[in-house]
Amino acid sequence: MKLLEEINLLKDIIKIYSPSGKEKEVSDFLFNFLKNKNLKVEQDIVWNVISTIGSGPPYILLTSHMDTVQGEIPFRIDGKKIYGRGACDAKSPLAALLSAFIRFKDKKFKGTIIFAGVTGEEAPNSRGTLELMKKIKANYIFLGEPGSVDGITIGYKGRLLVKVLFKGKASHSSSEEENPILKFIDFSNKISCLYKRNNLFESLSYSPTSILAESETNVMPSECRVTIDFRIPPGLPHLEVLNEISQVLDGELELIEGVDGVITSKNNILVKTLVKTIRSNGLSPKYKRKTGSSDMNLLVKLSENIVTYGPGDSSLDHTDMECIDIDEYLKSIDILEGAISEILGIVSL
């Protein structure tokens, strides 16, 4: 593709509002885009878009998510920056991977490059990636998430998302009946100090994100419902954390999502290849470890040769100031093309 077409692809994807559960429009757009390129492409039952170039091993997967968090942001362009929901997370990495993928359309190489735009990453349990993993194999995986044009993300924390019900008895607020809010506070005091280490990435993060205990001002509530989002460092199994909190919980627990953390070696072939390619593009590579989680936590089960890379400032993720610098986006495509070429051992013909 020409540069203008790669920029227009990014614009078109960002313009389509696609919160989790409502990805069909952007899925249809990508399907038709690839079909018009005369590429082999399919949509699956969860609206993933999957396309391949080449045949046989090695299998290189390029994947990112099409969905965004809720909350539409007006699309606008200000100089070299494009604003809109998903501009950073993760439509610019998605478009960069797709653009790099298409650059191999007419190249000769041994192997298979797979592009997959997946659904449901911003919702619990990543339905798109779980479906994708049922039907493909991959020797090498480039996952698209924002980390800056010179950033290489080598680690993510795991996640334990639970809903907890603390029960009490509706009664006058002056009574000595059990107060479910106080039960929650007691639970928080016990849990919030678990697995603390020297830094945030290596520590267990405890974040109640929703609390509901409705009652009159002078009536003790009968129950307190809380949603809690734990972020778990690599090496600490989420089931171990679940067992730990269950032992001190005076309430009922519902598991919504559980996934272990992931960390890859700086000696990973994909990491080393990206380091080389970033440097050859005049930049200094930076290693990043993120305190959130991503589909890398799941995809590592397909291959340990995995790395996360993509343009964009991840501090803008999920904010109303999501944007992407066009020059950074274009440079990231060059870097991805170079890294993929290095893996495939392509030489200029």
DSSP track, 265-333: -TTSHHHHHHHHHHHHTT---EEEEESS--THHHHTTT-S-EEEEESS-GGGTTSTT-EEEHHHHHHHH
| 318 annotated as belonging to a binding site for a ligand | yes
Q: Does the annotation list 223 as a binding residue? A: no
Residue 117 CA to residue 207 CA, distance in Å, equals 30
Cα–Cα distance between 252 and 167 in angstroms, integer? 8
Just list the catalytic residues: 67, 121
Question: Residue 156 corresponds to which tokens in the numbers above?
Answer: 């993510």
The rounded distance, in Å, linking the Cα atoms of 122 and 319 is: 14
65: closest CA among 109, 112, 6, 125? 125
- Looking at residue 316, its amino acid is L
172 is in an annotated binding site: no
b/e per residue 204-233 (b: at least 16 CB within 10 A): bbbeeeeeebebeeeebbbbbbbbbbbbbb
Name the token pair of 163: 């809903």
Q: Residue 87, preceding bond cis, omega within 30 degrees?
A: no
Is 202 a known ligand-binding residue? no
Extract the tokens encoding 262: 């992931």
- Residues flagged as binding site for Zn(2+): 65, 89, 122, 145, 318
- Residues flagged as binding site: 65, 89, 122, 145, 318
